[in-house]
Structures are given as structure tokens and as C-alpha cells.
Amino acid sequence: MKKISHLAVPYVVWTILLLALPMVLIVFYSVVGEGNTILDVSFTIDNYKKFFTDKDFLIVLWRSVKIALETTVICILVGYPIAYFISRSEEKYRNLFILLVTIPMWINMLVRTYAWIGILSENGVANKILSFIGLGDVQLIHTQGAVILGMVYNFIPFMILQINSSLSKMDNSLLEASQDLGADGKTTFMKIVLPLSLPGVVSGIALVFLPSVSSFFIPKMLGGGQFFLIGNVIENQFITVGEWSFGSAISVIMAALMMLSMYVVRAIEKKNKVDRGDD
């Protein structure tokens, strides 16, 4: 049986070279002084200091987290009923519904985002509809609303699919039992359905929050050049400003933040599992 475990050897090498080493390099670049050369290295924590002492960067970070949180909340509130509907529908339709939710994900994310530019722009369809119902000309494109809309549009399928998969796993006899024991629809939902679907919600949160926080092309395309989120700051550092060490430091901060929040999310998930075990 030893030989079969050797199958993993190429990948062990691969993970070290192409997954672990890049992360080491980011950390490395974030603590070396100016310049891109590996020779004459001097270590410094100035880049981190610069980030945490400049209130403007902290504002951007906070704004990115806030927008990602708003996106996530909207995805849960809208995605849950949709997932519930799918999981409760007849089996022959269920796969079709899931397919309908999945198809947009197959279409390039930039293309999907680009489509909204035409819809939201000043004399686009959205504004035409709004003026038709008497709400007049509203600035839609290049606003925070447009950015959140773009994020919800791109990431909500993840939420729906995750919640749906945990709802579908639910044993129907539980619901019947609950009703037999006299619980009304609301109680059954609150006491049985919701707790059992929480793992799906939790992994949905991870799949929505993570890409929202770091996205840089959605804010750029729908928010305009003046809409700056943390992803844009990083892109800017690497692509135009050229201060790689600072860009690396922001990347490390962001990665750490994400790891931390994922850790919290997973801990909650685990705790839930234990709680259910106790029941």
C-alpha cells in the first residue's frame, strides 16, 4: 500500500512551489525595504505602520468590509427564500431550477458585470423604467448601490446553491414529526428548518463575503474610477504606483483578516454541529 501514497509526492512538491512559496514571497516582500531586488535586503515593518497609521487606508478597508457585509446580508435575505423554494419543489423541477441558478455562473463574470453598465447608465433601461413609473432620472451607475448590485448579482448563486444543498439533505420526516406533534408552520421553520440549514448559510457567507471584500473590477466597472476599495488599492500599488512592498503588506493584512474571519465562521459551524449532536 506504500506505493499508492507515493502518488501524492508530485503534488506535495507542487504545493510547496506554487502554493506555499508565493505566500512566503508576499510576506517577504512586505517586510523588505524599497526596491524589487532580493540582494541587499533590509527588514522593516514600515509598510505595516504606514497602513495602520494612515486613517485613509483604514477608511478604505472599513468601507470594503462594510460593502461586503451588506452584499452578504442581501444575499442571505434574498437567497434563502429562493433556496427554500427550490428545495421544496417537486423533484423533477428541482434540477431544472438548480440549473437555472447555475447557468449565469458559467458566463464570464466580467461579461455579466459589463452588461449592467448598459442597463444602469444614464439613459439605460433602468432609468427608462424609473422615469416611466414617475421616479425620474436617477444617477445609478457609478454609485455605491451599483457596486453592491453588481456584487449581489455575481455572488448570490453561491449562496442559493449552498443553502439549497443543506436544505435538500434535510429529512422530510422531521417536518412531518414536528407537525404531528402540533407545531405550526412558523415554529417548524424556526425550530427545525432554520437550524438545520445553518451550515449551508455559513458556507454561503464564506463564498459571498470573501470575493466581495477583495473584488476590484466590480467597483472599477460599476463604481467608476473614484470608487476605491481595498482591492483597488492593492491593484493600484502593483500596477501603477509600483510600491510592491506596500502592496504586499496590504495583501498580507487582507489575507490575515480573511483567514481570521474564515476561522471564526468554521468555528461557528463546528459549534453548531456539536450543538445538534447534543440534541
Which listed range, 166-174, 191-199, 242-250, 267-275, lies at the site for another protein (CB under 8 A)?
242-250
Q: Which is nearer to another protein, 33 or 242 (CB)?
A: 242
Nine-digit cell string for 15? 504545493
Give me the sign of the Cα torsion angle 27, 28, 33, 38: negative
Could you give the CA distance from residue 194 to residue 257 in angstroms, rounded to a whole number? 28
145 near another protein, rule: CB under 8 A: no
155 near another protein, rule: CB under 8 A: no
| Residues near 160 by beta carbon (within 8 Å), at least 6 away in sequence | 79, 82, 83, 86, 101, 204
Which listed range, 85-93, 161-169, 172-180, 268-276, lies at the site for another protein (CB under 8 A)?
85-93
Q: Kindly state the number of chain residues that form the binding site for another protein, as judged by CB under 8 A.
A: 103
Q: Which position among 73, 112, 145, 168 is part of the footprint of another protein (CB under 8 A)?
A: 112
200 near another protein, rule: CB under 8 A: no
Interior CA angle at 68 toward 242 and 259, to 5°?
70
Could you give the CA distance from residue 24 to residue 6 in angstroms, rounded to a whole number? 26
Q: Which is nearer to another protein, 52 or 217 (CB)?
A: 217
Q: Which position among 65, 78, 130, 170 is part of the footprint of another protein (CB under 8 A)?
A: 78
- Closest listed residue to residue 50, CA positions, set 247, 263, 261: 247
* Whether 48 contacts 246, CB under 8 Å: no
The DSSP bridge partners found for residue 32 are: 43
25 near another protein, rule: CB under 8 A: yes
Which listed range, 115-123, 130-138, 192-200, 270-278, lies at the site for another protein (CB under 8 A)?
115-123
Q: Which position among 199, 200, 204, 223 is part of the footprint of another protein (CB under 8 A)?
A: 223
